[in-house]
Structure 1
Amino acid sequence: MPVDLGIRILRRAGVAESAYDRYSVVAGPVVALFVAHGRGAVTGAGPVDGYAGPEDFEERHLLRTGRAALPAGRPLPGVVGALRTGRDRNLRYDYGSLPESRSRVLEAVRGIPRGQLRPVDWLGPEAGMPDATAAELLEAVRSGPAPVLIPVHRLGDEDGRPVDCGLPVALTERLRAYEGIDEERLGRFAAAGTHYLGSGTTRIFCYPTCAHARRITDRHRVPFGSAAAARHAGYRPCLSCRPVAA
Structure 2
Amino acid sequence: MRSDREAPPREPGRPGLAGLAAEPPADFAVRVLRRVGIPRETYDTYVRLDTAAGGLYVAASPDAVTGAALDTGGLTAAGFEELHRSRTHRSAVRSARPFPGVTTALRTGRARRLPVDLSPLGPADRAVLEAVRAIPAGQLRPVGWIAREAAAAPEAVVGGLARNPAAVLIPCHRVTYDNGTPCDAGHLPEAGDALRAAEGIDLQRAAELRRRGVLFLGSDTTRIYCHPTCAHARRITAPHQVPFRTAREAGQAGYRACKSCRPVSA
Higher mean displacement: 156-165 or 167-176: 156-165
Inter-partner Cα distance in structure 2 for 1:164 and 1:27: 20
Q: Verify the 8 A CA contact 1:34 1:45 in the aligned structure 2.
A: yes
What is aligned with 2:31?
Answer: 8
Aligned-pair identity (%): 48
Of 117, 123, 140 in structure 1, the residue corresponding to residue 140 of structure 2 is: 117
Q: 2:123 aligns with which of 90, 97, 100?
A: 100
Q: Find the partner of 1:199 among 212, 219, 226.
A: 219
- Cα distance per residue 1:93-145 (max 9 Å; x no partner): 01132112211211111111111111111112212x1xx33221111122121
Moved more, 60-69 or 184-193: 184-193
Hey, what's the Cα distance between the residues in 1 that align with 2:176 and 2:99? 29
Is the CA contact 1:29–1:84 (under 8 Å) kept in the aligned structure 2?
A: no
1:81 counterpart = 2:101: no
1:7/1:70 contact within 8 Å kept: yes
Alignment of 1:45-194 (within 5 A): 45-127=68-150, 129=151, 132-194=152-214
- Contact 1:159 1:187 survives alignment (8 Å): no
Unaligned runs of 5+ in 1: none
For 1:147-191, what per-residue CA distance to the aligned partner results, in whole angstroms no more than 9, with x for missing partners?
A: 111111111123322124211001111111111111221222222
**Following the alignment from structure 2 to structure 1, what is the Cα–Cα distance between the partners of residues 205 and 179?**
11
Paired residue type of 2:254: G
How many residues are treated as equivalent by the alignment? 243
CA distance in 2: counterparts of 1:95 and 1:234, whole angstroms: 41
C-alpha deviation, 1:29, in angstroms: 4.0
Local SS of the residue matching 2:67 = strand
Superposition map of 1:222-237 within 5 A: 222-237=242-257
Secondary structure of the corresponding residue to residue 50 of structure 1: coil
TM score, norm. by length of structure 2: 0.86
- TM-score for both structures, normalised by structure 1: 0.93
Residues 35 and 46 in structure 1, CA contact (< 8 A), matched pair in contact too: yes
- Deviation of residue 28 (structure 1)? 2.5
Give the partner amino acid of 2:91. A
Is the contact made by 2:173 and 2:184 (CA closer than 8 Å) also made in structure 1? no
Aligned match of 2:6? none
Quick one: which amino acid aligns to residue 196 of structure 2?
Answer: R
Please give the secondary structure, in 2, of the residue aligned with 1:26.
Answer: strand
Q: Distance in 2 between matches of 1:90 and 1:97?
A: 19
**CA offset at residue 26 of structure 1?**
1.1
Secondary structure in structure 2 of the residue aligned to 1:202: coil
Task: Go from structure 1 to structure 2 and tell me whether the alpha carbon gap of 1:167 and 1:47 turns closer, same or farther (over 3 Å shift).
Answer: same
State the distance in 2 between where 1:203 and 1:52 align. 48
Which letter maps to 1:182?
D
Q: Distance between the aligned counterparts of 2:35 and 2:44, measured in 1?
A: 17
Uncovered stretches (5+) of structure 2, i.e. residues with no partner = 1-23
Which entry has the higher C-alpha Rg, 1 or 2? 2
**Structure 2: distance between partners of 1:240 and 1:204:** 11
SS for the counterpart of 2:164 is coil
CA RMSD of aligned residues (A): 1.5
